[in-house]
Amino acid sequence: MNAPETPPAIDESSVRYDGWRIVAVCFLVASFGWAFGFYGQSVYLAELHRIHGWPTSLISTATTFFYLFGALLVAFVSEAIRAFGPRNCMLAGVGVMATAVALIGQVTVPWQLYAVNALLAFGWAGTSLGMITNTLGLWFDHRRGMAISLALNGASFGGIVGVPLIVAAIGYFGFPDAMIATAIVMAVLLGPVIVIFVGRPPDRISAVVTPATADVPSATRIRAQAFRDTAFLSVSIAFALVLCAQVGFIVHLISFLDPVIGREHAAIAVALLTAMAVLGRVLFSTVIDRLNQRLASAISFVSQAVALAVIINLRNDIALMAACALFGFSVGNLITLPALIVQREFDPRSFGVLVSLITAITQITYAFGPGVIGLLRDASGSYSLPFYGCIGLELTAAALIMVRGRREVT
C-alpha cells in the first residue's frame, strides 16, 4: 500500500533550497562516472588493442564483466548509503574510480584488465545511476523527477565533452600518463566539492527514506517482495528489454550508418542523437512529475520502435538523421523514468532498495545487448534482423509497462 504523503516542510521549488546544490554535485559526479565508466570503455578497448594487440573479443569480454559485476554491486547501493551516508559513499566511489582509471593505463597482461575492471565496477556503483537517484531521493520528494532529470544530464555531458577530452589527453600524453592525469583531475575536482556541499539530508526527507525505527522493512524483505510483485516486475522487465535494445543499437549505430551515409555523416547522426537525449531530458524535467509516467514510458518505447523502422528501411540522409533524433529524444528519460514510477507507486521507505534493484536488473540485461546484436548481424549478414529484434523488444516493453497488477512491496 502507498504510504500517506507527508506535508512538505520545505519549498523544494525555491532556488535557495540546498537540494539544488546536490543536483549540481550529482551532475558533476555523473559527468565523470559516465565518461570513465560507460563511454570510456570504448576508448580503453581501442587503446589496449592498439598497444598490446590483444583480441577485441578478449577486451570486450572484460567490459561485459565490468557491467555484470557492477550490476551486482549497484543492487546494494541503498544499503551502503543507509550505513555510511551519501557523502562517504560518493567519496568512496570517486576515489575507487579514480584509482581504477589510473591503473587501466598501466595494464600489461590480460588478468590485470579484469582486476582493474572489477575495481572500476566499484567506482561505477558509487558514481552512476543508483548512487545519484538514491542521493537525490534524500533531498527531494515532490520535485524529485526534475532533480534526477537535471542531474543525469551529466551522463550525456560526460559522453559529449568528457570522452573527447580523454582522447585528446591520450594523444598528448600517451595512454598510461593520460589515465593518471585524468584520474587526478577527477579526484581533485570532485573530492572537495562533495565534502563541501554534500551534507546531512533534510530531516523530513531522511525520516521518510531512511528512518531509524523498528518497523522499517529490511532490504532483503523488500527485494523478496519485489520479485513477487506484478507492478515491480512489469517496470523492471520492460525497462530491461528497452535498455538492452537501446544500448545495443547505439553501440552498433556507426557501424550500420558508415556504409550507408559515410563516416562523417554517421558521426553527426550520433552527435544529434546525444544532443536530442539532453534536450528530451531537459524538456521532460519540467513536466515529468505531473505525467502518467507509465504511459509516457510506453510512448517513448513506441517512438524508438518507429525510429528503428525508419532507420532499417530508408537510405535518405535527412530521414536517417531525423530518425536518429527521434530515437535520441527519449534516450535520456529511459534511465530516469523507472525511479519516478517507483516513487509514485511504492512505499517511500522502499525507494532506495527498489531503484538499486531495477538498476542492477537493467544493467545485467543491457550488458549483453551489443554482443547479441553483433552475433545476429554476423549470422544474418546485415543489421536488419537484429534491429527488427530491437523493435520487437520495444513494442513488447510498451505493452508490459502498462501492466500494473496489485502492488505488494511495502
What is the tens place of the pLDDT at every residue in 26-36?
999 999 998 89
Task: Quote the pTM value.
Answer: 0.78
| pLDDT at residue 396 in the model | 96
> Of 231 and 159, which is predicted with more confidence?
231
Q: Which CATH superfamily is domain 219-400 in?
A: MFS general substrate transporter like domains (1.20.1250.20)
Neighbours of 142 (CB within 10 A): 15
Measured distance CA(25)–CA(193) in Å, rounded: 7
Please check the confidence at residue 181 and state whether its pLDDT lies above 60.
yes
Mean pLDDT of the 154-159 span: 84
Is it true that 19-208 and 219-400 share their CATH fold?
A: yes
DSSP H helix total and E strand total for the chain: 21, 0
Q: Does domain 19-208 have CATH number 1.20.1250.20?
A: yes
Q: Region 72-90: what's the mean pLDDT?
A: 91
Per-residue pLDDT, 211:
43
Report which DSSP code applies to 4: P
pLDDT for the residue 275: 83
- H or E segment to which residue 396 belongs: helix 384-400
According to the per-residue pLDDT averaged within each range, which of 8-17, 116-125, 149-158, 217-226 is highest? 116-125
Buried-state track 380-408, b at ≥16 Cβ within 10 A, e below 16: eeebeebbebbbebbbbbbebbeeeeebe
C-alpha cell at position 247: 544500448
User: pLDDT higher for 211 or 151?
Assistant: 151
pLDDT band at 210 (very low <50, low <70, confident <90, very high): very low
* Spatial separation of the C-alpha atoms in residues 301 and 208, rounded to whole Å: 32
With contact defined as beta carbons under 8 Å apart, do 32 and 158 qualify?
A: yes
Q: How far apart (Å, rounded) are the C-alpha atoms in residues 379 and 98?
A: 39
Parse the chain into domains and list their residue ranges.
Answer: 19-208, 219-400
Q: Would the pLDDT of 209 be above 50? A: no
Give the separation between CA 236 and CA 348, rounded to whole angstroms. Answer: 17
pLDDT of 129 over the 90 cut:
no
